[in-house]
Structures are given as C-alpha cells and as structure tokens.
A and B are shown apart, each in its own frame.
Chain A
Amino acid sequence: MSAIFPKWTNKLPLMVAIGGLLTAGAVTAGVWYYFTPKYFRVGYQPIQPVAFSHATHSGQLGMDCRYCHNMVEKSWFSNIPSASTCMNCHNQVLKDDPRLALVRESAASGKPIPWVQIHRVPDFVYFNHAVHVNRGISCVECHGRIDQMEEVYHAKPLSMSFCLDCHNNPAAKVRPADKITDLGWTPSPDPAIAAQKQAQDGKKFVHDFRVESLNNCSACHR
C-alpha cells in the first residue's frame, strides 16, 4: 500500500483542515472588515471644482454653517449655496483671484458650480435635515469636524446601524439648540463631567424638543 499513498498523506486531513480554516477565516475577516460603508464611504474626498476651504471659512473666520447652508432649518435638504452667496463677500475679498474664477462666472451667468456630492444616503432613505437640526442634533454628528477640513471628506459611515445607534438612544447626542453649529462644543471640557452632564441634560432635551427617535422602518424608508 505504501507504494500508492506516500507517508505524508497521513497529514493530509490536518492540512486540509488548517488550510480550510485559514481561508474561511481570512474571507470572513475580509468581508467583515471591508464590506461596510465604514470602508467604502468613509474617507471619500473628491476633487471639487473650486478649492473651497471649510477650515478657513468656518474654522478660522468663525462663520456660522447657516450663513451659506441657510435652508437647513427649513428644508429636508441642506442646500449648497448659490454663487451669489459667495459673492456677498467675494465681490470685495479676493475679487480678482483666479481660484474664484468659476464662482464669479457662475454668479454672472446663473450656471451652477458643479460641486461633487460627498454625503449621499441611498435614494430610498428620506433623511430630513430640518427635523434633526431643530431638535438638537448637531451637524458634527453626521459630518464630522467640517470646520477643520481643508477639503471635505466623508467622515462618518452613514450606514443604517449608524443612524440606529442614535435613534435608539438620542439622549447621548442631543445638545442645546443654540450649539447646533458649534461643532467643537462639549458639555464640559473635562470628558468625565461632560459624559455626566450629557446623561443628565440629554434626557431633558429629548423631553423638551419632543424627540421621538422613531425606530419603525417607515420613519426613514418610504
């Protein structure tokens, strides 16, 4: 018999088992790690037609988000400002700068600047900006520290579990209504006290703003 099966074949079942386990483990780990918006969406930073810096305008100059995204409190959609909003200042500031040529052209002709959309949930998800910002959910919860970004990138996964984390426990995120656009705000500079304060105030805000934290499918999917 030994002429047909050499001695090493005694180890074959073990080798197959180890090989199979390794392969299955690697595939599972790979799918778990990669097949999620945390990988596919986070970090998306397209090149925009105009090199607009949120870090300069919002971070350094301290302009409120709503100066440009002025419809966010009224509309389900947070508007991209028209070029005429830029021209409120840039008709004087850097008024001949070549970097702003497209903005001036757009303001003059009415043809929109082709900004590239970064944050986009699936078309069957009906996210309403107004409902969230008017009930104490800050921009930062979904968009990250935009005020520190030279170029905007996708900072949070915006997956369904990301939404549900907050919908299951809104008290952990809800903040005072006048701090919505203050992206760096915390209840206290000390993390331990901040967590304690958030736990106390969060419940109160949830009650005062009548936060409903809807968890049924049709809250978002219609």
Chain B
Amino acid sequence: MRYFILIFAVLVLIVIGVAGKRGDITRNSPIQIFPDMKRQLKLRPQTPNGFFANGLSSQLPQPGTISQEKPMLVGGKEVYSFEDAPVNTGRVTGATNFIELNALPITEKLLARGHRQFNIYCAPCHGQTGEGTGITKKIGAMAIVANLHDKRIVQLTDGELFNTVSHGKGVMQGYAAQLTVGDRWAVVAYLRALQLSRLGTADDLAPETRAKLK
C-alpha cells in the first residue's frame, strides 16, 4: 500500500508537472483530442489554401468585376459604384474639375456617421479636432500632418477633399478600402463642421439663438 501511494503521488505530480495548469501560456498549437469535424476542407477567409495556384483562400476579384450591390440613392436617382458619377469620383461627370459641394444631402445622421468614422480613421494623425495633432504627431513619429483648419484646406472644394480621402495625397494614403463612398462623404461633411467650429461667427447664428448669447 505504501508503494501504491508513493507511485500514485509521483504519477499525479508528473501529470501536473507536464500538463501544467489552465491558462498557461504556450507556443504549441491547441491539441484536438476528438477531431470530430472541427476542421473541414472548406475555404475559410484569409487562410492558406492549396486549391488555388497562389495558395490563398481569399482571391482578388478579376479585373473588371462589378460588385453585387444595391445602388446608392442620390437625389432620388440610383447610382452604381462603377458609374462615373460625382458621388463616386468627387468630379463633375465627364470632366476633371471637382464638384463644389457634398454629393449627399447634409443630415444629422450623415454628420454623426462622419464624426464616428473621422475619429476612427482620421484622428490618429489629424487629431479629433483636425488640427493635425493626432497621436502620431504627438509622439514625433510623423513629420508632416496637415492641419485641416489651414486656409489652403478650408478653400478646397468638397470634391477635392473627397478625392484626397479616397486616393490620398503626398505621404497620406487613400482610405477607399476602409471607408465606403457614403462614409467618405460623411467624413467630408463632418470636416466642414469642424472647420466651421473655428470660422463661424455669431452672425451665422439664427437671431433667437444669438439673443441667448447676450
């Protein structure tokens, strides 16, 4: 009996010693004791897969592919993303000059969306106020970050701002992959609101609101 207990204790200690405890950090991939059908031969996004010659499960669309989508409703008209329309390009149809004003109607919802997306995608560099004092500037990692309240940028047309958000400018890369067309116009609208917060005067207010100021 003494030997049994001794061997038993040693075995328990070996198991605990080898297996460790729950939550221990390990570099080894998790063991599957019962495989069941946990791993199947199907394509999963962004994983290596030998089915295609380049070994990727997520293939790029063929050139010229048109996405299955609902068209955007702009001023009561349906616009598809492949069309040469001001809402897609920021330019006048068939020309290279930029459109002056936002292609979408400015609503509270659009501004709220722009606010949210601006803080996620633009604020890291341009800062939440748009002064170009985002975190990358603060830690000194980036040399040039545009101050969005610059006269130069205030004077740009909405179409050109849209174009910069979409395709980038200088060292800034485009955000077309992150922001949908609608989101980019929302960001442009929100940027205008930010700029107005600096440029607006009391005269811009409605008379009754102005009366409250005094």
Contacts and interface: CB of A to CB of B under 8 A. Distances in A.
Interface of A: 11, 15, 18-19, 22-23, 26, 30, 33-47, 61-64, 66-67, 70, 77, 79-80, 82, 84-85, 87-89, 91-94, 112, 114, 117, 122-124, 153-154, 178
Given A19-B8, A22-B8, A40-B30, 8 more contacts: A38-B22, A40-B31, A43-B26, A44-B26, A85-B177, A93-B141, A123-B42, A124-B38
A92 B142 contact: yes
Chain B, interface SS category: loop
Interface stretch (B96-104, B119-127, B187-195): B119-127
B173 interface: yes
Contacts of A11: 1
A11 B2 CA distance: 13
A97 to B, nearest CB: 12
A123 B37 contact: yes
Nearest to A12: B1
Given A61-B139, A87-B173, A42 B40 contact: no
B12 A26 contact: yes
A36 B32 CA distance: 10
Interface in B34-93: 36-40, 42, 44-48, 56
Contacts of A124: 37-38, 40
B15 to A, nearest CB: 6
Contacts of A39: 19, 21-23
The residue in A33, A41, A43, A77 that gathers the most chain B C-beta atoms within 10 A of its C-beta is A43
A92 B22 contact: no
Nearest to B116: A178
Contacts of A123: 37-40, 42, 44
A174 B110 CA distance: 25
Contact of A84 (B21, B172, B173): B173
A19 B23 CA distance: 31
Contact of A93 (B44, B116, B136): B136
B204 interface: no
A117 B8 contact: no
A88 B179 CA distance: 14
Nearest to B180: A74
A46 B173 contact: no
Contacts of A122: 36-39
29 contacts: A15-B4, A19-B4, A33-B22, A35-B33, A38-B22, A40-B31, A40-B33, A41-B30, A44-B29, A46-B29, A61-B136, A63-B135, A64-B120, A70-B177, A80-B46, A82-B177, A85-B177, A89-B142, A93-B136, A93-B142, A94-B141, A112-B46, A112-B56, A122-B39, A123-B38, A123-B44, A124-B38, A124-B40, A153-B25
